[in-house]
A = this chain, B = another copy of it.
Amino acid sequence: MSSQFTVEKTQHPKTKPDQQNLGFGKHFTDHMFLMNYTAGEGWHDARIVPYAPLSLDPAAMVFHYGQAVFEGLKAYKTEGGRVLLFRPDQNLERLNISNERLSIPQIDEALVLEGIKELVRTDADWIPTAEGTSLYIRPFIIATDAALGVHPSPQYLLIVILSPVGAYYPEGLKPVKINVESEYVRAVRGGTGVAKTAGNYAASLRAQEEAEKQGYAQVLWLDGVEKKYIEEVGSMNVFFKINGEVVTPALNGSILSGVTRRSIIQILQDKEIPVVERRISIEELYEASVNGTLEEAFGTGTAAVISPIGELNWEDKQITINKGEIGQVSQELYDTLTGIQNGKVKDTFGWTFEV
């Protein structure tokens, strides 16, 4: 296919990193996709260029007022050498939802999807193939106008960068310990929780740091109004299996609508495992653990796919889940979803897009 974008190839290809030691978001490929927005002209100059620093005026709005949104998705190389994107349409749709909330102009989803495909093709040699590895794709939009008034910027830059990433759990799925956060709040209804915007992550750093100091891997966020209802876990949506039924917090205006979350719900329905989206309080969860009906718990997100939870710390109470071991449904969901993603399981849902 001939490209609808200009492609400027690098003259200085980088050395590729060791596939056994990739980590997450530490290495970047040789190229990036760029597109500019200017009021009046709209989005223009979509292009692929060598990966290089951005030059921005110190007054650029993104530095001061955080007008910025992003997405995260992955490309996989199958055993047969095909390259698959997982549900990129969903990510680009969500990018526009984030744009709407942040007063950033809408993008042409089809055009950016083509840009991502072309970029992945250009850097296809960078897609790792070791078990559990993938190519992480990070589209983001930043406000670049050099002025200090608090107003939506008349200028933006859309950028897509690629990072080969390692298995999230190099030694296999391992349940983690989570701290239930009762002081800090990630998002509140009427705020920006439904958008993937920079400030939400800045707001989460402090609680995450304190949880880590106490030996927890992540934070479980409660709602910002009553500090009672479960929202998310770290940068993931969260699911609980209680008495045979899988429960996940309903989208309430402050929870991010995860692509993995909606995929997991569909897989559960497909497997005829009962699944429900509803409000669930930390007290209800604690009671389920006491009366023995809390069977499994896991987070879902693009980075880890499924992240089993072995223990929750809620104030002075410890909630151990499935003796700290991975549950059967969690494992099954992980196998099915990663199998679809890397082409080992037949994709009956039409979720994978070949590059």
Contact = CB atoms under 8 A, between A and B. Distances in A.
Contacts of A208: 150-151
Contact of A51 (B55, B58, B150): B58
A73 to B, nearest CB: 13
Given A25-B149, A150-B235, A224-B191, A202 B198 contact: yes
A23 B151 CA distance: 14
Contact of A68 (B32, B63, B159): B63
A197 B101 CA distance: 18
Contacts of A62: 62-63, 198
Nearest to A227: B190
Classify chain A: how many residues form its interface, as a range: 35 or more
A32 B54 contact: no
A18 interface: no
A23 B227 CA distance: 43
Contact of A65 (B28, B201, B209): B201
A53 B56 contact: yes
A32 B52 CA distance: 24
A59 B202 contact: no
A54 B65 contact: no
B25 A65 contact: no
Interface stretch (A37-45, A140-148, A266-274): A140-148
Interface in A205-237: 205-206, 208-209, 224-225, 227, 234-235
A138 B148 contact: yes
B159 A205 contact: no
29 contacts: A25-B147, A25-B148, A25-B149, A26-B148, A32-B58, A52-B58, A53-B55, A54-B55, A58-B161, A59-B161, A62-B62, A63-B142, A64-B68, A64-B138, A64-B198, A66-B200, A66-B202, A67-B201, A67-B205, A101-B206, A152-B205, A185-B190, A189-B224, A190-B227, A191-B224, A192-B199, A197-B203, A198-B199, A225-B225
Interface of A: 23-26, 28, 32, 51-59, 62-68, 70, 101-103, 136, 138, 140, 142, 146-152, 159, 161, 163, 183-192, 197-206, 208-209, 224-225, 227, 234-235
